[in-house]
Amino acid sequence: MVRALLVIDVQKDFCEGGSVPVPGGAGRAAAIAGLVARTAAEGVYAEIVATRDHHIDPGGHFSADPDFRTSFPAHCVAGTEGAAFHPYFAAAAESAAVREVFYKGEHAASKSGFDGADAAGTRLTDWLRARGVTSVDVVGIATDHCVRATALDAVRDGFATRVLLDYTAGVARETTDRALEELGNAGVSLDGEPVVPA
């Protein structure tokens, strides 16, 4: 089994102080940086990659009256400070441990990392398959949105999939619980407990 770690959207706008902050996001950014450093040193993963929301004109995904399901306040606009990796994770993201970054959502709503492509235009699924990856662990922000969508797409694309919940942060208890049920029903392995508001 060739395993990869997928780090989902650990960006400033999704952490405290950002335009759509997830409670506990900054703490998870620090924890994920530690996970990347430790697992890279131990050779746990064949590949470690990260994804970033990278919006230019995502249409109705941005709204002045968002429903926080399909529409949200403007966030992670390409070239803005909010689109950058959170400072607690940035050094890890720029290290040799993280082999590639996949950008998603330039001109459409996008939650799944599997919607993303690298700078050369290679889609995440194709990149992983080219390297023989058969299994993925998913971490990042938010459990009930982009982590959920990425894990569901990973299973759909034939990867054995696990979400490391200790390295995720959820927006709300109700939506996180619903996401975990959906993930479990889809065959995703769940390990640990997500950070969620009380």
Catalytic residues: 9, 104, 146
DSSP one-letter string for the chain: --EEEEEE--BGGGSTTSSS--TTHHHHHHHHHHHHHHHHHHT--SEEEEEEE-BS--GGGB-SS--SSS-BSS-SBTTSGGGSBPHHHHHHHTSTT--EEEEE-SSS----GGG-B-TT--BHHHHHHHTT--EEEEEEE-IIIIIHHHHHHHHHTT-EEEEEEEEEE-S-HHHHHHHHHHHHHTT-EEES--B---
